[in-house]
């Protein structure tokens, strides 16, 4: 079990799951749902269709996942590691978690099954699910990068909806090459949480114990944004 400073989120459901859930969502309602999520401070939505091999590996029977991504506070990320920083990060986590329950209730109210996946349950990796969306990649500093940014946390809803706009290919694979040719996170890491070959050493990282976010603050994907880094990468490859 990994140590976390986040506390469990109370159950905020107000509506029960439907007895006979619908499996198809209209484009209009999905767009409306996305707009509500964005208005609730989420940075964007991604969708994962879990394949059979993945479900066997993690011993789960989920199929369709809505990933709700939120931008972690720049002000908090720039703070030095401390108990106060961890407290503020958890307060933010709790606030966004409550909003995720509200979004699940909207789906339930419209006759879709919707269950929040416990973000603190180690029986399944939310990062692994994020990769199943073909909309994310793991950086050299072991962060989960989406196009919306590196400073993202996320919550996930498992749902009966089978016609979500799933991606079949991942167009972020170039990031791995970018990371191999950058190395800023290795240079700036105060804990030296990388081996001599530049591989991340989880046991030395203090992000989950003390709230360290140095690698995020110095990463080009955070400082410049995904599109600018990609443009520079493509120019360098010409």
Q: Where are the domains of the chain?
A: 1-237
* Mean pLDDT, range 23-47, rounded to an integer: 97
* Mean pLDDT, range 51-68, rounded to an integer: 96
- pLDDT of 4 > 70? The answer is no
Which pLDDT score, from 0 to 100, does residue 237 have? 82
Q: Mean pLDDT across the chain, nearest whole number? A: 93
- pLDDT of 156 > 70? The answer is yes
- pLDDT of 5 > 80? The answer is no
Torsion on CA atoms 182, 186, 190, 195, rounded to nearest 10: 180
| 187, burial (CB in 10 Å: exposed 0-12, middle 13-18, buried 19+) | exposed
pLDDT in tens, 118-154: 888 878 899 999 999 999 999 999 999 999 999 999 9
pLDDT in tens, 62-108: 999 999 999 999 999 999 988 899 999 999 999 999 999 999 999 99
- pLDDT of 3 > 50? The answer is no
- Cross-strand pairs, 64: 49, 159
pTM score of the predicted model:
0.93
């Amino acid at each position: 079990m990994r140590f976390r400073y986040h506390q469990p989120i109370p159950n905020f459901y107000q509506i029960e799951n439907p007895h006979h859930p619908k499996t198809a969502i209209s484009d209009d309602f999905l767009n409306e749902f996305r707009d509500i999520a964005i208005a609730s401070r989420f940075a964007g939505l991604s969708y994962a269709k879990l394949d059979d091999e993945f479900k066997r590996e993690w011993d789960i029977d989920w199929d369709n996942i809505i990933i709700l991504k939120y931008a972690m506070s720049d002000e908090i990320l720039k703070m030095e590691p401390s108990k106060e920083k961890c407290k503020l990060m958890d307060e933010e986590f709790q606030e966004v978690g409550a909003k995720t329950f509200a979004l699940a209730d909207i789906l339930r109210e419209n006759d879709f099954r919707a269950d929040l996946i416990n973000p603190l349950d180690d029986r399944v990796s939310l990062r692994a699910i994020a990769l199943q969306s073909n909309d994310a990649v793991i950086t050299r500093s072991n962060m989960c990068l989406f196009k919306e940014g590196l400073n993202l946390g996320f919550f996930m809803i498992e749902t009966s909806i089978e016609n979500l706009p799933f991606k079949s290919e991942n167009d972020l694979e170039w990031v791995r090459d970018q990371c191999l040719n950058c190395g800023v996170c290795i240079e700036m890491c105060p804990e030296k949480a990388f081996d001599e070959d530049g591989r991340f050493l989880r046991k030395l990282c203090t992000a989950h114990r003390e709230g360290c976010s140095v690698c995020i603050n110095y990463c080009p994907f955070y400082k410049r944004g995904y599109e600018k880094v990609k443009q520079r990468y493509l120019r360098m490859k010409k």
